[in-house]
Amino acid sequence: MGKLFGLIGHPVSHSMSPSMHNDAFRNLDVDHHYQAFDVKGEDLEAAISGIRALGIKGFNVTIPHKVNVMKFLDEVDEEAKLIGAVNTVVNKDGKLIGYNTDGEGYLQSLLKVTGQELQQMKTLIIGAGGAARAVFTVLSRYGVSELDIANRTNEKAAILASECNCGQADVEVLSIEEAGERLNEYDLIINTTSVGMSPHTDHLPIHLKNLKKATVVSDLIYNPLKTKLLLEAEGKGATILNGVGMFVEQGALAFEKWTGVAPDRHNMENIVLKQLGGF
Ligand code: ATR
């Protein structure tokens, strides 16, 4: 019998997850279905009870519930606890277990560009929200040895640096301006803020005047596919990476947790790109 999976968030009407997962289920030749549910903050607890009652086998969690959902689960995995957010839940015989596949998804997409050299790349993370916590946690765990963080609100960056450094990374907390002045020190620059996201596509999270050519510049945003940050970085000879790979990987890792099967990442990526109008 087909099993039900889903997504809870608000809003969810533009989510690409249903088409990505339903296509992967069809390719597996199983009768499972993935459904997006629009759940407002005040209805979150009731929604989780409903998921238990209906026997939904697994679900993703998106904005604004990634933090609040944790208190309604039976167990939260260690890395998700460090990150402080859950984006994937597995219903294991009635027990709801929370994971975070955003960080690992990002790491997998990044490694395709950097290879093993990543550990030696001096890295700057811009932003200190949930996405930054996921990225910082996995990069420090992976062994990136120099990991700086710049954010509009300095205190948030300092808290992140003290809570999420699960490796032995050497960390400096900087203002955005300071980081911009010292940009030529970095081999890898990662924007985790929403600055530059559609419809505000003419905004830049940091000035690139001091960017060196051999840098990898990565933006977690996938709409547009090339933010102003990536366009300018590419113009200066940098290698660029957008957020499509992370989105696909976080979904593929969730799919693996639910089904035990690795989905075809290329199919997933094609579906996402089609939906984004990329080809
Ligand atoms: P997410 O879960 O996507 O990371 P979030 O937790 O709301 O979202 O974090 C948003 C991040 O983008 C924060 O680092 C935020 O900076 P503040 O900590 O100072 O709020 C950053 N951000 C959002 N809009 C910004 C803007 N216009 N300029 C600079 N930083 C911005």
Q: Which residue's alpha carbon is nearest to atom 22 within ligand 1? A: 193
Encode pLDDT of 104-134 as tens digits.
999 999 999 999 899 999 999 999 999 999 9
**Residue of the CA atom closest to atom 9 of ligand 1:** 129
Q: How far is CA 199 from CA 194, 195, 245, in A?
A: 11, 10, 21
Q: Which of 36-50, 146-160, 239-253, 264-278 has the lowest mean pLDDT?
A: 264-278
Closest ligand 1 atom to 193 CA:
12
Tell me the whole-structure pTM to 2 decimals: 0.96
Q: Above 70 in pLDDT, residue 278? A: no
Contact by Cβ (8 Å): 221, 243: yes
**What is the distance in A from the centroid of ligand 1 to the CA of 137?**
17
Which atom of ligand 1 is the closest one to the Cα of 133? 4
Ligand 1 pocket mutation pick from 193, 197, 206, 219 by most atoms within 8 angstroms of CB: 193
**pLDDT tens-digit series, residues 152-207:** 999 999 999 999 998 889 999 999 999 999 999 999 999 999 999 999 999 999 99
Whether 279 has a pLDDT exceeding 70, the answer reads no
Q: Which two tokens stand for residue 273?
A: 């790109």
pLDDT on residue 145: 95
**Closest atom, ligand 1, to C-alpha of 157:** 18
What's the gap in Å between 191 CA and the centre of ligand 1?
A: 10
Residue ID of nearest Cα to ligand 1 atom 3: 131
Q: Kindly report the protein residue whose alpha carbon is nearest to atom 27 of ligand 1.
A: 195
Computed over every residue of the chain, the mean pLDDT equals 96
The pLDDT, as a whole number, for residue 277 is: 84
Cβ-contact 203, 187 below 8 angstroms: no
CB-based pocket (< 6 A), ligand 1: 127-132, 151-153, 156, 192-195
Spatial CB neighbours of 42, under 8 Å, sequence gap ≥ 6: none
Task: State the closest ligand 1 atom to the C-alpha of 131, by its place in the atom list counted from 1.
Answer: 4
- Which residues participate in catalysis according to the annotation? 66
Report how far ligand 1's centroid is from the alpha carbon of 197 (Å).
12
Residue 131 CA, ligand 1 centroid: distance in Å:
9
The Cα 132–Cα 85 span in angstroms is 11
User: Residue with the nearest Cα to atom 16 of ligand 1?
Assistant: 152
Cα 196 to averaged position of ligand 1 atoms, centre (Å):
12
What's the gap in Å between 194 CA and the centre of ligand 1?
6
pLDDT at 102 over 70: yes
Query: Are the C-beta atoms of residues 220 and 229 closer than 8 Å to each other?
Result: no
Res 71 pLDDT > 60: yes
User: In sequence order, what DSSP letters do the residues of the chain get, joined into one string?
Assistant: ---EEEEEESS-TT-SHHHHHHHHHHHHT---EEEEEE--GGGHHHHHHHHHHHT--EEEE-TT-TTGGGGGSSEE-HHHHHHT---EEEEETTEEEEE--HHHHHHHHHHHHHGGGGGGS-EEEE--SHHHHHHHHHHHHHT-SBEEEE-SSHHHHHHHHHHH--S--B--EE-HHHHHHTGGG-SEEEE-SSTT-TT-TT--SS--TT--TT-EEEES--SSSS-HHHHHHHHTT-EEE-SHHHHHHHHHHHHHHHHSS---HHHHHHHHHHHTT--
**Closest protein CA for atom 31 of ligand 1:** 193
The CA distance from 191 to 99, in Å, is: 23
Q: Which of 61-75, 88-102, 265-279 has the lowest mean pLDDT?
A: 265-279
